[in-house]
Amino acid sequence: MLFSILIANHNNGRFFKDCYNSIIAQTYTNWEAVIVEDGSTDDSVQVIKNIICNDNRFRFVENDKNYGCGYTKRRCAELAKGEVCGFLDPDDTIAANALEKMIQAHQHNDHALVYSNCYMCDENLVQHGLYPRSRQIDAQKNDFFNLEYAVLAFVSFKQSFYIKTAGIDPYMQRAVDQDLYLKLAETGSFYFIEDALYYYRMHHKGISVSNYDRSVFWHWVAIMQAAKRRNINVEELFLQNYVSKEKFAKLEKAVSKSRALKFANYWGTKLGPVKKLFRK
């Protein structure tokens, strides 16, 4: 089975060498890497071209302008020739046996999507522990929306299931993968590999890290679209998982302010006589 590694790049040239090294170190050798460059303003184009050089296992394609994450990832999927595909962000890396483990899981069972655990890393790829939320879930439940982000990375999917969906939504600016997971959940089962096969680099320019609130918004866009496809109402789900959190945050802020005022009043009373001494 050919595995298509899909890479959508925008301004991550400085991290690509690590990504590249993890790809060429794979124990499973029947792969291709499809890189779509989305109008970077850094030196990504030259850096990536210099690194992949004449290696025909890599295909490098440039958008004529910056279209955004959804458009670029959809183009990656359209260009893929593999029976199995998996997205790898250009600022992240994968374990040497990542593709081998994925292919084994897909061969033994007809899953729509296979995902693994991952390591959370700092900007220098120093590990800070396993991602705590990854676990086996029943994605075919009508109310599966990946709200707890149990499905994160490494993720691979069969093209035979992908073509049953409407595909990656080019309109989505963030949470593109979440939208895809919800669509694939409507076509087949998910399988979890307990091994950590992905190294997730946390840095201030990362699309999820630097714009967390925006990512949450786009995840809810994906949820609303999935709810419409499934003909279910998610109003209560939204109130429980978003509005209640917002109310809690406001309450927590009010409590903190109240405590601060009590603290200031208490020490203001205690220190009153002392302050008078210093005024003399």
My answer on whether 46 and 175 are in the same domain is yes
Task: Indicate the number of domains in the chain.
Answer: 2
* CB distance 121 to 128 below 8 Å: yes
* CB distance 42 to 141 below 8 Å: no
Predicted confidence (pLDDT) per residue in 3-59, tens digit: 999 999 999 999 999 999 999 999 999 999 999 999 999 999 999 999 999 999 999
* DSSP symbol at 243: I
Which phi and psi (to 5°) does residue 266 adopt? Answer: -60, -50
My answer on whether 94 and 170 are in the same domain is yes
Predicted confidence (pLDDT) per residue in 94-123, tens digit: 999 999 999 999 999 899 999 999 999 999
- Among 135, 242, 226, residue whose Cα is nearest residue 179: 226
- The chain-wide mean pLDDT, for the chain, equals 89
Specify if 241 maps to a domain.
Answer: no
5-6-10 Cα angle (round to 5): 135
Does position 280 have pLDDT exceeding 50, yes or no? no
Does position 264 have pLDDT exceeding 60, yes or no? no
CA-CA-CA-CA torsion sign (155, 178, 71, 212): negative
H or E element at residue 223 = helix 212-230
Task: Specify which residues 37 forms β-bridges with.
Answer: 9, 62
- Collapsed DSSP state (helix, strand, coil) of residue 16: helix
My answer on whether 253 and 202 are in the same domain is no
Specify if 75 maps to a domain.
Answer: yes
Residue-level pLDDT at 251: 57
pLDDT band at 250 (very low <50, low <70, confident <90, very high): low
Does position 207 have pLDDT exceeding 80, yes or no? no
- Collapsed DSSP state (helix, strand, coil) of residue 151: coil
* CB distance 3 to 28 below 8 Å: yes
**90 is in which domain, residue-wise?**
3-230
* DSSP symbol at 109: S
My answer on whether 145 and 212 are in the same domain is yes
My answer on whether 208 and 272 are in the same domain is no
